[in-house]
Amino acid sequence: METWNWPGFFGYLFNSYILGGVVTTIWLTVVSLIGGLVLGFILALMRRSPVQLVKMAARFYIWLFRGTPLLVQLIIIYTALPQLGIRFSVVEAALLGLALNEAAYLAEIIRSGIEAVPEGQTRAGRALGMTERKIMRHIVMPQAFKVIIPPLGNSVNGLLKTTSVTSVISMEELLRRTQVLIQEKFMVLELFAVAAIYYLVLTTLWDLVQRRIEKRFGRSTAHVSLAEQR
């Protein structure tokens, strides 16, 4: 009894339907990451706010979204909210769920990066008459970025794989399209192997990009340190 269909495996390895799912996975990751970064930055600033109510609101958000599964969050957004009159399309629900969930993790990464910058840098900026916005933009964030890059890169890697969870609400990314083909062709092992290969390719490519970014940023940091010593 044949248990592996090699022609089927190679036939779907470059199938246009599967490749369409790969493209969807990529843009889903990019858009969700951008949304998560924007909201995460806002939450990070809220966590550092001197206003206790604002700080507590950010802490509650992070506690809620980090403490509940993304799967549950997606189901609530797509199937439960319509009962309250709030309706989202599959794409909107997927992007919203991923961005909201990712923001909770990115907020802590950004906050840790900001807090890693010595307080004296901020005081020096104020002494020069700089506004808080300029201090954050020109002094704090460039230095915080050094701390943020590695965990941020790992988050992108994880988000690439996490997009597969959106298949539960019928988002046609890579895993969902693989499942559709399995129902039609009954090639379970072959098609799941194809999906696994594409996820591995995507995460490997991102790992190479991340290393280049870290290496380049580390080199520029070294130059700055040398200049300061001189």
Q: What are the residue ranges in the chain where pLDDT is below 50? A: 1, 220-230
Residue 230 has a pLDDT of 35
The DSSP symbol for 4 reads: -
6-229 CATH: 1.10.3720.10
Q: Alpha-carbon Rg of the chain, whole angstroms?
A: 22
Contacts (Cβ under 8 Å, ≥6 apart) of 74:
93, 94, 97, 165, 166, 168, 169
In tens, the pLDDT along 9-51 reads: 999 999 999 999 999 999 999 999 999 999 999 999 999 999 9
- What pLDDT does residue 219 have? 54
How high is the pLDDT of residue 221? Answer: 47
CB 137 within 8 A of CB 10: no
In whole angstroms, give the CA distance from residue 17 to residue 200. 18
In terms of residues, how long is the chain? Answer: 230
Give me the pLDDT at residue 223, please: 43
Please give the pLDDT value at position 1: 43
- Angle at 220 (CA atoms; ends 26, 141), nearest 5 degrees: 65
Note the pLDDT of residue 218. Answer: 65
pLDDT at 135: 84
List the domain boundaries for the chain: 6-229
